[in-house]
A and B are shown apart, each in its own frame.
Chain A
Amino acid sequence: MSTAQTAAPKKRLTTSAMIASIAAPGQRTAPAPFGNALVELARSRPEIVGLTADLAKYTDLHVFAQAFPDRFYQMGMAEQLLMMAAAGLAREGAMPFVTTYAVFATRRAYDFICMAIAEEKLNVKIVCALPGLTSGYGPSHQATEDIAIFRGMPNLTIIDPADALEIGQAVPAIAAHDGPVYMRLLRGHVPLVLDEYGYKFEIGKAKSLRPGNDVLVISTGLATMRALQAAEMLEKDRIGVEVLHAATIKPLDLDTIIAATGKGGRLVVVAENHTVIGGLGEAVAAGLLRAGIAPKFRQIGLPDEFLAAGALPTLHDRYGISAEAMVRQIKGWL
């Protein structure tokens, strides 16, 4: 601690709450888009129930719990029971929306999602906060490999929404989908971005958000928001960037991705809030290779290591998924 009386201490960024906001200062946001969309949907869908493992407040499920207390099941800090009970409720005709953190669903409850839910194609929607790097608490709370873990699970649909608009649209869409779904969740005051792009979420569809002649960025989740910011910044340097948003990681919309990749000799960059191992980047790479397409290809994603604790803006910049870091990387590759 500084004892100097004269010099004003330099303000250091702090880790802040467990779930630090990913909204930039001044950015438009919407509150609890998942919880509010679920409440809205549940009014006309009595089979919807909510379950959590001591994380209602941190997954925006508390909004549902307040609206429908007799349709809400607090299972305590027991993620295995959480998934098994959801399986049992689904067997009896309910449609469980299950929330926890992505680290716990993947690392603690995998077998129960795999064998009790996915193998039996049960209609359970698993919605998890803290995907990728969205907490400064370190590896115990950073699900940097959740997509890699779940991509290998048959029957499971995987969705990584980019903003509040998309979360709100995804809730009824995944309810209409017959089968298990894993959705990454941004919670709290979530940035609102895609409304400016006339975007409409559809399961299994990648959609182009802006055109660009020099670079094709294929992105998902919050990396799409950052890619859009990076594209604006690069445009000032006369670098044209198309952003193709693939919210559904599985099944992946390879037709659209292949069609976009085939347009001209653009640099292809896949950007994701996830380790570069086993996520969207490798899924796209494998799909392109199988189709006989080999563009200049680069990945923006988290490194294959346990990440540091700290303030989220610092970490996003350090590990390459801030807008500024994306700009630096893309310029370096051109």
Chain B
Amino acid sequence: MSSAMLDKTSAARRDGFPYAGSNVSLRERAYRIRRHALRMGEVQGQGYIAQALGIADVLAVSYFRALRYRPDDVHWEERDRFLLSIGHYAIALYAALIEARILPESEIETYGTDGSRLPMSGMAAYTPGMEITGGSLGHGVGIAVGMALGLKRKKSDAFVYTLFSDGELNEGSIWEGIMGATHWQLDNLIGIVDVNDQQADGPSSAMSSREPLHERFRAFGWHTQRVDGNDIDAVAAAFDAARAAKIAAPRIVICDTQMAKGIPFLETRERNHFLRVEPEEWQQAIALLDETFSGKTL
């Protein structure tokens, strides 16, 4: 995306929606988020790249449709908060923050290196736009409960989004948070679960009885939707509905995603929780991504 393209639409931007009216499609945003993530992955040669590729569509909808923020003022009081409970997905969020121009693209080459603002696991003190230190897992929902309560105290109409994973649902603390959000009727809290069926030791579904997830969240009193997390229009519609719902309850968007979405030779790797990719394969993956995207948009 060129800056000229942005400038043309600047008049149409509303405060807190810097890319409203942009003629860059969500699909292109997702493509570019994937591309930034692959380039960061190449710096390390390995990492949580499959998760990043899988969640790119959700992040594109989050940062280019749903969230209110100012790229040059990450502490803006009226911003919507986005909590990355799965600190391991930092590579994905950095890619989105770069695409949103909260972080400069030039920092891609520092990813995971000494002194970088982009450590392998997300930490609030390191990175502008990283709201919390995740990574221990099981923290995002509970912290979101506190922030949602805090926002209500301040009579703010900002939302708290928290992204967590199906693997994280193993943690009891997540369920304490889920019950707390219901109890306090936190209609300003929007949870996003990435259901990619992978965690460190193998498939999530083989480790814990996760399903029926939709029914579970409904039974816990949440406004519940389940969508294909790689269907960008479906995700966008679900986020819109989550914000608009007139119900005094927290909202969840369960997103079924494909690990390594968009790079077929990585999608089919059986154990892709932490991918090791050969040096020549990174450029192959980026080339494949470029070809696929340009083919779709031509």
Contacts and interface: CB of A to CB of B under 8 A. Distances in A.
Contact of B176 (A80, A89, A90): A80
Interface in B176-195: 176-177, 179-180, 183-184
Interface string B143-165: 11111111101100000000000
Contact of A88 (B123, B147, B179): B147
Interface of A: 49, 73, 75-76, 78, 80-81, 83-94, 111-112, 115-116, 119-120
B211 to A, nearest CB: 24
Contacts of B153: 49, 89, 92, 94
A90 B149 CA distance: 10
Nearest to A88: B146
A100 B85 CA distance: 25
A81 B150 contact: no
Given A112-B142, A120-B133, A81 B173 contact: yes
Contacts of A87: 142-143, 146
A92 B123 CA distance: 18
B138 interface: yes
B5 interface: no
Given A73-B184, A80-B176, 19 more contacts: A75-B180, A76-B180, A78-B176, A80-B142, A80-B173, A81-B176, A81-B179, A81-B180, A84-B143, A84-B176, A88-B149, A91-B131, A92-B146, A94-B153, A115-B135, A115-B136, A116-B139, A119-B123, A120-B133
A84 B154 contact: no
B136 A88 contact: no
Contacts of A84: 139, 141-143, 145-146, 173, 176-177
Per CB-CB distance, the 5 closest pairs between chain A and chain B, nearest first, are: A88-B146, A92-B150, A84-B142, A85-B146, A81-B176
19 contacts: A49-B153, A76-B180, A76-B183, A80-B142, A81-B145, A81-B179, A84-B145, A84-B176, A85-B145, A85-B180, A87-B142, A88-B142, A88-B148, A88-B150, A89-B153, A90-B146, A91-B147, A93-B150, A112-B139
B132 interface: yes
A116 B139 CA distance: 7
Interface in B112-146: 123-125, 131-133, 135-136, 138-139, 141-146
Given A78-B176, A81-B180, A88-B147, A111 B142 contact: no
Contact of B150 (A91, A112, A115): A91
A73 B148 CA distance: 13
B173 A120 contact: no
A115 B138 CA distance: 11
Q: Chain B contact residues (Cβ within 8 angstroms of A): what range?
A: 20 to 34
B173 to A, nearest CB: 4
In this complex, the member of B131, B142, B149, B150 whose beta carbon has the largest number of chain A beta carbons within 10 angstroms is B142
Contacts of A78: 176, 179-180
Contact of B125 (A83, A116, A120): A120
A145 B132 CA distance: 29
A93 B154 contact: yes
A87 B138 CA distance: 14
A239 B83 CA distance: 61
B177 A89 contact: no
A230 B123 CA distance: 50
A154 to B, nearest CB: 12
Contacts of B176: 78, 80-81, 84
Nearest to A94: B150
Contact of A92 (B124, B154, B180): B154
In this complex, the member of B124, B172, B176 whose beta carbon has the largest number of chain A beta carbons within 10 angstroms is B176
Contact of B133 (A76, A94, A115): A115
Given A84-B177, A94-B153, A119-B133, A89 B146 contact: yes
A55 to B, nearest CB: 16
Nearest to B150: A92
Given A76-B183, A81-B173, A89 B139 contact: no
Interface in B212-268: none
Given A80-B173, A81-B173, A85-B180, A92 B147 contact: yes
Contacts of B139: 84, 112, 115-116
Contacts of B183: 76
B271 to A, nearest CB: 27
A81 B142 contact: yes
Contacts of B145: 81, 84-85, 88
Nearest to B123: A119
Nearest to B142: A84
A75 B173 CA distance: 13
B149 A85 contact: yes
